[in-house]
Amino acid sequence: MAPKTAANPLMEKMHKALAYQKQGEIEKAQRLYKQVLKKVPNNPDANHLLGVCYRQLGFPKRAMEYIQKAIKLADDRAPFYANLARAMSDLPGTTPETTLAVTQKALSLDPNIIETQNLQAIALSKLERLEEAEEIFQRLIVRHPEHPDAYRNYGILLRDNGKHDKAAVFFFKCTQLDPENPENYIQRARARHEANQLKENDAELNKALELFPDNGDLHHELARNLFKQSRTFEGLPHAEFAVEQDPTNHHKLVTLGVHHNSLGTLSQAIKAYKAAQAVAPEPLPVIDWNLSLAYLGCGKLASGWDLHRARFLDTNTTTLCREFDKPEWNGEPLAGKSIMLWPDQGLGDALRSGTMIPDLLKTGAHVIVELTPKAQKIFADSFPEIEVRTAAFDQATKMAEHHDYDYHCALTDLGKFYRRTPGSFKAGKYPAYAFNKSKARTYLARMDGAERKPIIGLGWRSKNLAESRARYYLSAPEFSPVLEFEDVIYVNLQYLSIERERAFLKEIAKSDFMHFEDVDLFDDIESAAALTCCCDLVVSANVSVAEIAGAFGVPCMRFAPKEAILMLGQAEVPLWYPTTRIVEIKEDMRAVDVVPELVARLGKWLENFDPDERNARLAR
């Protein structure tokens, strides 16, 4: 009988350590590898596997030291380079060029390592070699259809390049292949969010939270998704949960802040934004921009205006950010100088901010205002001292094409200089705009019984029916109870209304419902303003119909949420428009829920109707 061969204790330790490592008992494996290296410090496998342990325990820098030593001892082993690339990818500051070089070396030794191909494609995508990266991901998916990493990383590549709907498909596949990994559900939610697949996202996130009820990232994504739908009263508990789980995450603190902002709990919003500022790695415009809105919303006007310019630095804002080769005005003396004003948002913001032009004219400056064509005549007629022209800038670079001025300033930013206190509004001219009285009287003459009947202008929606905004608007049937009063003249001020809406309201109205076919309520703002000024009262959604009424001093019931930039800390009457009254659509209400209040207020108003204010406005 042959004698038994003596066991190799070091080899046994290596096998035992590897078994621990495969079972996820990393610290036990680590101790055994260290014991082996005390005996044979130049064992390449022990150095390599100890390095892998360090990476698995979250110490990529230490991992690299051991793996690099292993490579020096045996530079022909593909797994060594593959795991070095993985450790490098975990280390902040590793350049994609470095990762790419290491993956290429690994794949030159063994072209079939799936994880290394993934890392190579990720490095290529970071280097904007997108076609090469996409080719690798697609090849991996074809060859290894059950490997979730390829789907996940391809989804990230697609999402980062704006192909959000396509990315969501690949993240969905990840949830099927790797249902125990919450990261797959999080990535899918982010893609759906950017693709505006909000309803699908709601359903999927709620199902994901059944699997991972304590995952703060999933709660955060659901809060973001609900906020985008203006369902903040539903999103707030999820935003709060996310912050409780991760109180030093500035993204989650901002999400909590915007929920409080929307709900009107502004002190809580400010608290969240300041906490975000304290933990953010650097000053972030998105925090300052939202903090600005919170300050304005609670009436701290000076603080709000001082931060308001941060909107131009926030990469996610929809604000137009133009470029200039002339300095921005920061309150310097303007006597003998010229200044060019420009709007960074829509018509309503331009009208609201334009009310400060009379204040600016007192400086003695030559004022130029660049506007869209439809707003130009109103500004030119109202402020004959100014020069009005079409906005001109390069569409790609946003660089201004005109340079015939000393300073420039966004119209909204005039508030920083002229509306720093509530009292400063009282000192301003109101209404600041002039309308075409002759045209208005012509319209009035076409309204039978206008001498004695109240004239009520109507607007119920925007042309933009995105879900986040549409919830604050009404359909014609929902709005119709407003038209149930007798002996009234109702005037359609709804721009881009459709025949079916008008026919329905005309049929349901218990008084005359007038639509002026010859008035372009969308592009001819001069005529729209003249028709509005014929009205004794306007009832409107939060759209330019209400802005025009407010800007020209026409009494208005405006059903809307309380927007910070409009209300500036006031309960019902905006400082900008003293003749406007807000009928608030609270965040836990539907827009149709305010209709009974609109009807009740309208009934009381009719009891005290007097045409004298309208007649004085029209100088009749």
Write phi, then psi, for 455 (nearest 5 degrees): -110, 120
Where helices occur in 214-265 by DSSP H, the ranges are 216-228, 232-245, 250-263
The amino acid at residue 505 is L
Q: Is residue 620 pLDDT above 80, yes or no?
A: no
CA–CA dist 530, 505 (Å, integer): 22
What pLDDT does 7 receive?
Answer: 55
* Identical fold, 214-311 and 437-617: no
Q: How confident is the model over 299-327, as pLDDT tens digits?
A: 999 999 999 999 999 877 788 899 999 99
What pLDDT does 122 receive?
Answer: 87
Q: What is the mean pLDDT of residues 30-56?
A: 93
Q: How confident is the model over 126-163, as pLDDT tens digits?
A: 898 989 998 998 988 899 888 898 898 889 888 888 89
Q: Is residue 458 pLDDT above 90, yes or no?
A: yes
What pLDDT does 352 receive?
Answer: 97
Token output for 536 = 């004794």
According to DSSP, residue 328 is labeled B
Of the candidates 492, 416, 422, 502, the one whose C-alpha atom is nearest the C-alpha of residue 457 is 492
Is the distance from CB of 273 to CB of 237 less than 8 angstroms? no
Q: How confident is the model over 425-437, as pLDDT tens digits?
A: 999 999 999 999 9
The amino acid at residue 562 is K
Pick the CATH number of 437-617 from 3.40.50.2000, 3.20.20.60, 1.10.540.10, 3.40.50.720: 3.40.50.2000
Write phi, then psi, for 366 (nearest 5 degrees): -85, 120
Which CATH code fits 146-206?
Answer: 1.25.40.10
According to DSSP, residue 5 is labeled P
CA–CA dist 440, 618 (Å, integer): 7
Give the model's confidence band at 5: pLDDT under 50 very low, under 70 low, under 90 confident, else very high: very low
∠ CA 191-195-201, rounded to 5°:
65
Q: Is residue 99 pLDDT above 60, yes or no?
A: yes
Q: Is residue 90 pLDDT above 60, yes or no?
A: yes
CA–CA dist 116, 153 (Å, integer): 12
CA–CA dist 548, 538 (Å, integer): 10
pTM listed for this prediction = 0.85
Q: How confident is the model over 351-401, as pLDDT tens digits?
A: 999 999 999 999 999 999 999 999 999 999 999 999 999 999 999 999 999
State the chain's mean pLDDT as an integer. Answer: 94
Q: Is residue 4 pLDDT above 60, yes or no?
A: no
- Within 89-167, strands assigned E span none
To which residue do tokens 């600005």 refer? 292
Is the distance from CB of 475 to CB of 558 less than 8 angstroms? no
Q: How far is CA 297 from CA 187, 195, 260, 507, 570, in A?
A: 34, 30, 11, 41, 8
Q: What is the mean pLDDT of residues 87-101?
A: 91
Is the distance from CB of 231 to CB of 218 less than 8 angstroms? no
CA–CA dist 97, 293 (Å, integer): 42
CA–CA dist 128, 139 (Å, integer): 19
Portion of the chain with pLDDT greater than 70, in percent: 99
In the chain, domain spans: 146-206, 214-311, 338-427, 437-617
CA–CA dist 576, 572 (Å, integer): 12
CA–CA dist 304, 557 (Å, integer): 27
Of the candidates 107, 137, 140, 111, the one whose C-alpha atom is nearest the C-alpha of residue 124 is 137
∠ CA 168-171-176, rounded to 5°:
125
To which residue do tokens 């660049």 refer? 370
Q: What is the mean pLDDT of residues 6-25?
A: 86
What pLDDT does 2 receive?
Answer: 45
Portion of the chain with pLDDT greater than 90, in percent: 86
Q: Does domain 214-311 have CATH number 1.25.40.10?
A: yes
CA–CA dist 297, 293 (Å, integer): 6
The amino acid at residue 36 is V
Q: How confident is the model over 489-538, as pLDDT tens digits?
A: 999 999 999 999 999 999 999 889 999 999 999 999 999 999 999 999 99
User: Is the peptide bond between 431 and the residue preceding it cis, with omega within 30 degrees of 0?
Assistant: yes
What pLDDT does 470 receive?
Answer: 87
Is the distance from CB of 376 to CB of 388 less than 8 angstroms? yes
Give the model's confidence band at 1: pLDDT under 50 very low, under 70 low, under 90 confident, else very high: very low
∠ CA 179-184-189, rounded to 5°:
120
The amino acid at residue 83 is N
Q: How confident is the model over 464-490, as pLDDT tens digits?
A: 877 778 899 999 999 999 999 999 999
